[in-house]
């Protein structure tokens, strides 16, 4: 009986083992299926994220043009004709939008593109901004504050200094697009101040004749913004922009050379140097400490072009803005009032001062300069698109 009983128990145990093996195989197959599913989901997620990242970065290069940004992002997304379309993923839902990120400098009207990709149960999002302040720059702004910036188009005195205030507002708009953690900015003016302590005083034409008269009123600095992104009105740069007065006649060359001198002296090694030059008229004199035969005096417009050439040969990007140039009826003349030889117009001079024709901006009539300074800020930051951690719609 024991053997029989033992034999029966042995058969029972073998049956239990078979059941356990079957159960284990089912569990193992289930685990394998789960691993495969999880791996597939992970692959889908990584593939979609890479595509979304590429699309967002490509679209951000077109900012602040919202329509163009969305169009380019879709070209690199998951659409049927998109460059990054993966044939292994079908029926992917893609949404591309633009937005304003307050966490990065400047927004007019948008500074970020958001790409959402959805496939089955997988959702990814990529957000890229431009400009993002990721490209360090050393910039000197050169502002013409001559008497004509406080006159109307007929040459009558304008107590409100409307043109100069338009320039000031444009410069401050420009600053709003920069990131003080990476961008240093200085300010030069023409005419120069009579002394460092007189930067807020009305300048005189005679200031040009002093070799010690400062053109650079504010050296390269980084305190022009507060931690919340607002302009720091107590900073040397912003307060000086707000206080400069208009007066005197026009000479370009030394102001441009002083701006380059500041970049040479305090600019950082390996950082792109930039000069943004604004004037509303033709140069028509030069400092009297030069000989009367000097081109600084006989060809002040041509000399301005030559001086800008020194900056360009040093690798500095030079932008120029012509403000209401049609109101200037005097033209480019020597200190004697005779037309420069060879002849050159004020528009030709300012266009030639710029690194290229595309770096010359013209505001043909008196008006706000915010748009032009915004365009320049976007241009110098071009190619600085970057993915951000922002995940909000």
DSSP designation for 226: -
Whether 329 is covered by a domain: the verdict is yes
Q: Are residues 295 and 200 in the same domain?
A: yes
DSSP track, 68-118: HHHHHHHHTTTSTT-TT--TT--S-EEEEEEE--TTSS--SS--EEEEEEE
Whether 193 is covered by a domain: the verdict is yes
Q: Are residues 282 and 327 in the same domain?
A: yes
Q: Are residues 58 and 182 in the same domain?
A: no
β-bridge mates for residue 95, sequence order: 116
Q: Are residues 178 and 108 in the same domain?
A: no
Confirm if 307 and 256 have CB atoms less than 8 A apart.
Answer: yes
**CATH assignment at residue 189:** 3.40.50.410
Dump pLDDT digits (tens) for 205-241. Answer: 999 999 999 999 999 999 999 988 899 999 999 999 9
Q: Are residues 127 and 142 in the same domain?
A: no
Q: Are residues 147 and 63 in the same domain?
A: no
Q: Pinpoint the alpha helices (H) of 119-233.
A: 162-176
Q: Are residues 188 and 117 in the same domain?
A: no
Per-residue tokens: 264: 């040479």
- Banded model confidence at residue 35, pLDDT cuts 50, 70, 90: very low
Q: Are residues 188 and 262 in the same domain?
A: yes
Mean pLDDT, the chain, as a whole number?
Answer: 86
Q: Are residues 156 and 217 in the same domain?
A: yes
Domain count of the fold of the chain: 2
Dump pLDDT digits (tens) for 269-323. Answer: 999 999 999 999 999 999 999 999 999 999 999 999 999 999 999 999 999 999 9
Per-residue tokens: 195: 């002394």
Whether 312 is covered by a domain: the verdict is yes
Look up the pTM and report it: 0.72
Q: Are residues 278 and 362 in the same domain?
A: yes
Q: Which domain holds residue 100?
A: 44-132
Q: Are residues 299 and 234 in the same domain?
A: yes
Q: Are residues 171 and 320 in the same domain?
A: yes
The burial class, CB within 10 Å (0-12 / 13-18 / 19+), for 229 is middle
């Amino acid at each position: 009986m024991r053997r029989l009983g033992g034999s029966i128990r042995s058969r029972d145990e073998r049956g239990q083992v078979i059941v356990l093996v079957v159960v284990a195989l089912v569990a193992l197959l289930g685990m394998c299926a789960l691993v495969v599913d999880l791996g597939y989901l992970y692959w889908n997620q990584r593939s979609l994220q890479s595509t979304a990242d590429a699309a967002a970065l490509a679209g951000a290069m077109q900012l602040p043009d919202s329509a163009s940004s969305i169009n380019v992002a879709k070209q690199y997304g998951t659409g049927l004709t998109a460059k990054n379309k993966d044939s292994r993923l079908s029926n992917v839902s893609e949404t591309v939008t633009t937005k304003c990120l307050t966490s990065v400098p400047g927004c007019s009207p948008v500074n970020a593109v958001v790409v959402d990709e959805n496939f089955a149960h997988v959702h990814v999002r990529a957000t890229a901004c431009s400009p993002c302040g990721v490209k360090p720059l050393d910039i000197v702004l050169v502002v013409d504050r001559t008497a004509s910036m406080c006159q109307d188009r007929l040459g009558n005195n304008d107590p409100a200094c409307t043109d100069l205030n338009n320039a000031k507002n444009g410069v401050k708009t420009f600053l709003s697009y920069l990131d003080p953690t990476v961008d240093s900015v200085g300010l030069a003016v023409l005419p120069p101040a009579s002394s460092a302590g007189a930067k807020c005083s009305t300048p005189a034409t005679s200031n040009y004749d002093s070799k010690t008269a400062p053109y650079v009123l504010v050296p390269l600095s980084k305190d022009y913004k507060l931690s919340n992104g607002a302009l720091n009105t107590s900073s040397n740069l912003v307060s000086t922009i707000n206080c400069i007065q208009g007066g005197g006649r026009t000479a370009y060359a030394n102001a441009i050379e002083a701006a380059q001198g500041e970049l040479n002296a305090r600019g950082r090694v390996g950082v792109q140097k930039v000069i943004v030059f604004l004037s509303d008229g033709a140069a028509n004199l030069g400092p009297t400490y030069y000989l009367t035969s000097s081109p600084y005096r006989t060809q002040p417009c041509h000399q301005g072009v030559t001086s800008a050439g020194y900056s360009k040969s040093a690798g500095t990007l030079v932008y120029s803005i012509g403000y209401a140039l049609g109101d200037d009826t005097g033209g480019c003349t020597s200190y004697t009032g005779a037309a420069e030889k060879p002849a050159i117009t004020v528009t030709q001079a300012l266009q030639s001062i710029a690194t290229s024709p595309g770096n010359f901006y013209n505001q043909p009539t008196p008006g706000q300069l915010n748009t032009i300074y915004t365009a320049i800020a976007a241009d110098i930051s071009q190619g600085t698109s970057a993915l951000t951690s922002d995940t909000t719609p």
